[in-house]
Amino acid sequence: MKQFSLYPPSATKAPKPGQILIAEPLLNDANFTRSVILLCEHSDEGSVGFVLNHPTEIRLGDIIDGLPSGGPIVFKGGPVQPDTLHLMHRVPHYLGQGKKITNGVYWGGSFDDLYDVTTSKPFNESDIRLFLGYSGWAPGQLEDEIKEGTWLIADANEEMIFNASNDELWKLAIASLGRKYAHLAHIPTDPQMN
């Protein structure tokens, strides 16, 4: 029996690093409502990604001793290991290569270099994304969630990851899927409020 899907196959393709996972409009999960997640790892061992549009009130200077207060905002990367700090950036010349996720986007790098950059070198805060915790899936779990319609998939790009407004990122990600999906951006979070 063929499974019915609300979404065309192009938005439910097989996931791979460098893509974004876009939460379906009615997903009612405190960790993932209207989330956009950059997928950084996907293999037979599972998947890892980071929520790009859930900022916290925390700044880097609040969690690393010796740094001045302020600095880049720290995002809630997901519910897994929320006491770990993860680094994403587009300045490998300052922070070390890390793992290239897509053009201009690196995951990881040197926290010693991050300390040096934030204390002694001029840098643009929008070049760095910091996350507490991550989003993780067991082997096969992400594919099952995609088949169920929980996530739509699109290709990530550097501008979307580092420059988009947190409040608008989900709608921009939906728009990146094309005209067939434009109506999804206007579905209210709670359809009963319509």
Half-sphere exposure of 190 (CA within 13 A, CB side): 2
Mean pLDDT over the full length of the chain:
88
Instruction: Please tell me the predicted confidence (pLDDT) of residue 192.
Output: 55
Query: How many angstroms separate the CA atoms of 176 and 43, rounded?
Result: 25
Instruction: Please tell me the predicted confidence (pLDDT) of residue 9.
Output: 46
pTM for the full predicted model = 0.89
Q: What does each C-alpha distance from 179 to 2, 22, 174, 175, 176 come to in angstroms?
A: 25, 16, 9, 7, 9
| pLDDT less than 70: residues of the chain | 1-12, 189-194
Instruction: Please tell me the predicted confidence (pLDDT) of residue 3.
Output: 38
Are 154 and 169 in contact, with CB atoms under 8 Å apart?
A: no
Query: How many angstroms separate the CA atoms of 24 and 39, rounded?
Result: 16
List of residues 6+ apart from 15 with CB closer than 8 A: 21, 39, 42, 47, 142, 143, 146, 151, 153
Identify the structural domains of the chain with CATH numbers, from first to last. Answer: 22-87+131-193 (3.40.1740.10)
Instruction: Please tell me the predicted confidence (pLDDT) of residue 12.
Output: 57
* Rg of the chain over all Cα atoms, to the nearest angstrom: 17
Instruction: Please tell me the predicted confidence (pLDDT) of residue 4.
Output: 35
Q: Three-state DSSP class for 57?
A: strand
Instruction: Please tell me the predicted confidence (pLDDT) of residue 5.
Output: 44
Instruction: Please tell me the predicted confidence (pLDDT) of residue 78.
Output: 98
Instruction: Please tell me the predicted confidence (pLDDT) of residue 193.
Output: 53
Q: What DSSP string runs through 70-100?
A: --SEEEE--SEEEEEEEEEES-HHHH---EE
pLDDT digit string, tens, across residues 58-83: 999 899 888 878 888 999 999 999 99
- Beta-bridged to residue 48, according to DSSP, are 41, 136
